[in-house]
Amino acid sequence: AAADGSARAESPLQVLKDPILLTFIVVCFLFHTANGTVLPLVMQTLAIGNGRSGILMSGLCIVLAQVFMVGSAKICGTYSQVYGRKWLFLIGLGIVPIRCAILSGLLIWQGDNEASILQQALLLSTQILDGVGAGTFGTMYILVTSDISGGTGRFGMSLGLTTAAMSIGGTFSGYLGQALAQDHGYLKAFEILMIMSIVPVALYFFCMPETLPEHSKKHEIESMIETSAEQSPEGPVKGPTGNYIEMV
């Protein structure tokens, strides 16, 4: 705040010194590095040797993902205030390694044979996970960025940084995925991407706090009450506000 009591935005350098924001930027970059190329690889897998039906299946990949993306985004917007940001965001991050593992399993099942209708349908169905993950990430990353930048007056800058990280990661992912598929095959590409996608999940789980202020405060109060109850199982317990809480 300024000397006269008016609000003043933090300097860009102060924003860049925030370790939570920097960690989140790295998470966004790593997530899109692993995830950005999965859809093109799935579309190529479906199109190879299938002629016109392969083109149709490739189009259905996008349509199916978009339908489920809208639904998951609506659910995240509704429940992020109830359950907090962290666990919902972890769902969006964790879907990618699960999806890559399923794709790897389907390609192992297919082997060197031409994909059957059932196998193609199962490959296509993995786009449901893509839609859920994209809708969850797309909604939650804006909310998390807003939480992190709250009170700094630099939401636009923070959102620009996280969006830039996503764009750079997605661009690099396209080159990486095609190089892996060309040099090692689609199966190895999905396996490597699965391992890569675990990194942002672990980083977010271990290094990022719950960013929703009300949710964090609620858990802090509950933890203090539980600790006090264990130390003094009988009688009133003094809460964080100085009031006494009756333990039943």
pLDDT of 230: 58
Give me the tens of pLDDT residue by residue for the chain, a chain 248 residues long.
444 444 566 788 888 899 999 999 999 999 999 999 999 999 998 887 666 677 788 888 999 999 999 999 999 988 988 888 999 999 999 999 999 999 999 999 988 788 788 888 899 999 999 999 999 999 999 999 999 998 888 899 999 999 999 999 999 999 999 999 999 999 999 999 999 999 999 999 999 999 987 755 555 445 554 555 555 555 554 455 555 444 44
Closest by Cα among 114, 97, 118 to 47: 114
pTM recorded for the entire structure: 0.82
Q: What is the pLDDT of residue 11?
A: 86
Are residues 92 and 136 in contact, defined by beta-carbon separation less than 8 angstroms? Answer: yes
Residues 6+ apart with CB under 8 A from 105: none
